[in-house]
Structure 1
């Protein structure tokens, strides 16, 4: 059974800033799961 760690991040701003932050989280192995207003929920597997 896979285990995950989760992170909730408030990202305010539009366009370039949001894109840059999402790309940074993606490079760190975080997968975007859901967005609710400006809250972005991520998960990544625990090894």
Structure 2
């Protein structure tokens, strides 16, 4: 299986971060890891 990857800098409070993470999840992105404020995502390539 092939994946597409994305790295996103998310700064802000917990509520803002939660909203952004939920938006990415609804788009099919899976959170892989977090390093400081950098959030790494992947999703299958169709």
- Name the TM-score, length of structure 1 as normaliser: 0.96
Q: Distance between the aligned counterparts of 1:40 and 1:15, measured in 2? A: 14
Structure 2 unpaired stretches of 5+: none
- In the alignment of these two chains, the number of paired residues is 46
Normalising by structure 2, report the TM-score: 0.98
Q: Structure 1: which 5+ runs fail to align?
A: none
* Superposition RMSD in Å: 0.3
Structure 1 outlier segments of 4+, above 3 Å: none
